[in-house]
Amino acid sequence: MTIKKYFSNHKYIIILLSILILGTFLRFYKLLPNLIFNGEMGRDYLDVWAIIHGTRSFLIGPQTSHEWFFLPPISYWIYAVLMLLAKFSPTVINFFFAAVGSLTILICYYYVKKLFGEKIALISSFLLAVSPIWIDLTRASRYNLPAGIVFFPYLWYLEKSIEDKGKSLAILGLILGISMSFFPSPFLLVPAAIVCFIFYKVKPKIKYILYSVLAFIIPNITFIVYEISDKFQITLQLLAWIPYRILGFFGLYHKNTVNSTILRENVYSIYHFFAESFVPASKVISVTIFLLIVAGSVFWFKKSLKNKRKEISFILILINLVVSYLGLFVHGDPPEHYYYVIFPIPLILVAYLLTKTFKSRFILIFLTILVGVLGIWSLININWFNQDAPLANYPTRPPTYTLQLAVVSEILKDANGSEISIGRIGTYDQFENNFADNYIYLLTIRGAKLNSNAKIRYTIVEERNIGEEAPGKEIWAKDGVQIYKSV
């Protein structure tokens, strides 16, 4: 068999393998020098440390930005296994999520192929492999990454549930239940799915709906057990919070009321989400791509209405995008990570629109590669792969992991076994423990005697331009980070 014939027979496998290699490289390249480890991650790892050592409940998981709201514990269980295998080194989480992020390329290909066919699947996988927002999400190494990935099987089983009149609803409920274990915003997929059923005039049997509810509960059983023991405190606050956000948005409550600023920020948030998915480094290119996507989606949606069954996958994507965005819109100025609920949609939309609009193989390949190259150019343009360079201050990102280790080593050396407390001056230092939990975790796993009331206190200074002076005397400084000691 000639090389040409071999490639012809296996071209899709070879192309997919090439995309996987590229995406894996972009996720692992200089991972350790640029490893992200901040105070929020340190808080999570301290929780896992406490679970393993029996000082924290294993029935609930991470705390969200709302102090009263905790997620189910699946992510913490995964962390616990990884931490035990790696002797509590935090780097294991970053490498794990780099691997998961790479595997997402194959997950994308598998489900998009089932929904749209080979061509759109390959283009979507390529765009995901080089997408700045997906690479950033992977490198961030947070427990909420799976919430974005789960959208792929969700969309497939949503379509199956509509086509089989609800017989697949149990699997759909299980998928949604799992997604809620990693982030709360996938809850918006519930009303989105209901709208999809209404649009296609499908009325599933009551028993299928009950199966779906039961399947949704299964991944969250431990959370429910915790809620029962805590007299449903989280549930009660959540039930009060949802109407508060809705009533506030429509002016029926004095907070969160919609105004021109909120409207502008809401509109900008959806544009920003699409821009970060493709070419965040150029506003002109990003605006152009966004407007073309909006125009193309409207055009092909009108076309698809003539054959709703044939174009069901495309229609379901648009309904999920619109309904989820309306939910985020009512929330008011949603941060970027709230879009995890629909993270894959921009990539699939562009792949679909390119394939439907351009029949020439040359033009299709050229435009696909162009968008991908612009994405990689964006990362290079902002020096994204070289964040290990030392800075004078750290107002937007934490010091490198290597520098954090140096800080911890110096504190351990100076403390010499004494009881100590840790403080920090820098971005987000208004939060618990001055957002120094990454340092506290590294000290904890190295056997430091930590006590918030200890006489000896070390203050780590990452940002010196915020007007606050560190107590005590400077004992160490390197690459923009200082340590002050007070007794």
Cβ-based burial of 281 (10 A; exposed 0-12, middle 13-18, buried ≥19): middle
- What pLDDT, on a 0 to 100 scale, did the predictor assign at position 470? 87
Q: Is the pLDDT of residue 191 over 60?
A: yes
Tens digit of each residue's pLDDT (9 = 90 or more) over 410-432 = 999 999 999 999 999 998 898 88
Quick one: 124 exposed, middle or buried, by C-beta within 10 A (0-12, 13-18, 19+)?
buried
Residues 6 or more apart whose CB falls under 8 angstroms from that of 181 comprise 61, 71, 72, 73, 74, 75, 219, 220
Choice between 227 and 131, residue whose per-residue pLDDT is larger? 131
Confidence of residue 394 (pLDDT cuts 50, 70, 90): confident
Q: How far apart are CA 130 and CA 368, in angstroms?
A: 11
pLDDT band at 317 (very low <50, low <70, confident <90, very high): very high
Distances (CA, A) of 169 to 148, 216, 341, 417: 20, 10, 19, 58
pLDDT tier, 178 (very low <50, low <70, confident <90, very high otherwise): very high
pLDDT band, very low/low/confident/very high, at 109 (cuts 50, 70, 90):
very high
Helical H segments across 150-232, by residue range: 151-163, 169-179, 189-199, 206-217, 221-229
Task: Give the range among 190-194, 230-234, 278-282 with minimum mean pLDDT.
Answer: 230-234
Tell the burial category of 396 from Cβ atoms under 10 Å away from its Cβ (0-12, 13-18, 19+).
Answer: exposed
Question: If we measure between CA atoms, which residue out of 430, 424, 70, 56 comes closest to residue 232?
Answer: 70
pLDDT for res 336: 77
Residue 147: φ, ψ to 5°: -60, -35
Query: Which residue, among 271, 261, 269, 437, has the nearest Cα to 337 in the 3D structure?
Result: 269
Burial of 54 (0-12, 13-18, 19+ CB in 10 A): exposed
The three-point CA angle 274-280-286 to 5° equals 60
State residue 63 phi and psi, 5-degree precision: -85, 135
Residue 116 has pLDDT above 70, yes or no: yes
Q: What is the pLDDT of residues 11-37, one digit of tens each?
A: 889 999 999 999 999 999 999 888 889
The confidence band for 390, taking pLDDT boundaries of 50, 70 and 90, is: confident
Angle of helix 221-229 versus helix 233-249 axis, rounded to 10: 100
- d(C-alpha 434, C-alpha 386), whole Å: 27
How would you class 179 by CB atoms within 10 Å of its CB: exposed for 0-12, middle for 13-18, buried for 19 or more? buried
Residue 136 vs residues 45, 65, 337: alpha-carbon distances, Å: 20, 20, 11
The pairing of beta strand 481-486 with beta strand 473-478: antiparallel
Nearest residue to 440 (alpha-carbon basis) of 419, 421, 414: 421
Tell me the pLDDT band of 267, cut-offs 50, 70 and 90.
confident
Question: Could you give the CA distance from residue 342 to residue 429 in angstroms, rounded to a whole number?
Answer: 31
Residues 364-373: tens digit of each pLDDT: 999 999 999 9
pLDDT band of residue 245 (cuts 50, 70, 90) is low
